[in-house]
């Protein structure tokens, strides 16, 4: 089995997760509630690249702490949410964001639910139309609920 750095990291993260561990910053980041809300929202939407199933808000990994620090710095510098996301994507790729952004590639993901619902409606309409004209009386099965 080839060496997997990821497995080593996963072990560390699993151990941390198993105890319900949460990463906690040194106190509240911003006094301004709006900035604090932005900070919490952004850190909730960025994946910890080391413990890849946690957000950087929750991860104990030092990389998560570093990324939180960078986000604090960028917010304090007055960057917008989009600029901050661009900053992270430029360095780590789209994978860094928990919520895929709209782009040609990810369009499929976002319209999939709607497409499936439309297919579902078509199926229902066809079945119901087909059965409407069939006889209601049949040699009855058991009495169900």
Partner 1 sequence: MPWLAGTALIHSLAVTEKRGLFKSWTLLLAISAFSLSLLGTFLVRSGILVSVHAFATDPARGIFILAFLCVVIGGALSLYAWRAPALDSDAGFRPLSRETFLLLNNVLLVIATALILGGTLSPLIYEAFDWGKISIGPPWFEIAFAIPMVPLVYLVGVGMHTAWRQQPWRALARQLRVPALVAIVAGLAVPALFYGRMGLLLVTGCIAGFWLLAVALVQPVRSWRRSPGTAGMTRAALGMSIAHFGVGLFTLGVTIVSAFTVEQDVSMTPGEQVAVAGYQFELRELREIDGPNYRATEATVEVRQDGEFVTTLRPQKRTYRVQQSPMTEAGIDAGWHRDVFVALGDPLGNDAWSVRIQYKPLIRFIWLGAFIMALGGMVAASDRRYREPAAASERATGLAGETA
Partner 2 sequence: MWRYLLPVLAFAALIPVFIFGLDRDPSELPSPFIGKPAPEFTLPQLKDPSMTVGSSDYAGKTALVNVWATWCVGCRQEHGYLLELSAAKDIPLYGINWRDDRNEALNWLAQLGDPYVASGYDSDGRVGIDWGVYGAPETFLIGPDGTVLHKHLGPLNESIWQRDFAPKLAAVEEHE
Q: Are 110 and 102 in contact (CB under 8 A)?
A: yes
Q: How far apart are CA 145 and CA 59, in angstroms?
A: 49
Question: Binding to partner 1 (CB under 8 A): which residues in 19-38?
Answer: 19-28
Rounded to the nearest whole angstrom, what is the least distance from the CB of residue 143 to partner 2 in the complex? 30
Contact pick of 37, 76, 107, 127 for partner 1 (by CB under 8 A): 127
Rounded to the nearest whole angstrom, what is the least distance from the CB of residue 144 to partner 1 in the complex? 4
**What is the per-residue binding string for partner 2 in 63-92, x denoting contact by CB under 8 A?**
x--xx-xx------------------xxxx
- Residues with Cβ within 8 Å of 107's Cβ and at least 6 positions away in sequence, in order, are none
Q: Which of 35, 26, 38 is nearest to 85 (CA)?
A: 38
Q: Which does residue 16 touch among partner 1, partner 2, none (CB within 5 to 8 A, set by kind)? A: partner 1
145 binds partner 1 (CB under 8 A): yes
Q: Would you call 55 helix, strand, or coil by DSSP?
A: strand
Q: Which of 52, 54, 33, 53 is nearest to 43 (CA)?
A: 54
Q: With left for phi above 0 and alpha for psi between -120 and 50, is residue 24 left, alpha or beta? A: beta
Q: Which of 61, 85, 65 is nearest to 75 (CA)?
A: 85
Positions in the binding site for partner 1 (CB under 8 A):
1, 6-7, 10, 12, 14-28, 45, 47, 52-53, 60, 93-100, 105-106, 109-110, 112-114, 116-117, 120, 123-124, 127-128, 131-136, 138-139, 141-145
Positions in the binding site for partner 2 (CB under 8 A):
3-6, 8-10, 49-50, 52, 62-63, 66-67, 69-70, 89-93, 95
């Amino acid at each position: 089995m080839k060496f997997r750095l990821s497995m080593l990291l996963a072990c560390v993260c699993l151990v941390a997760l198993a105890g319900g561990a949460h990463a906690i910053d040194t106190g509240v980041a911003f006094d301004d509630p709006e900035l604090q809300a932005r900070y919490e929202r952004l850190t909730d939407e960025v994946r910890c690249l080391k413990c890849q199933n946690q957000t950087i808000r929750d991860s104990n990994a030092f990389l998560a702490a570093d990324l939180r620090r960078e986000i604090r710095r960028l917010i304090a510098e007055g960057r917008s949410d989009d600029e901050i996301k661009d900053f992270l994507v430029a360095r780590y790729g789209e994978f860094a964001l928990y919520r895929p952004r709209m782009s040609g590639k990810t369009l499929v993901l976002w319209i999939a639910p709607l497409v499936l619902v439309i297919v579902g409606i078509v199926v229902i309409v066809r079945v119901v139309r087909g059965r409407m004209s069939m006889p209601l009386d049949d040699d009855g099965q058991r009495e169900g609920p």
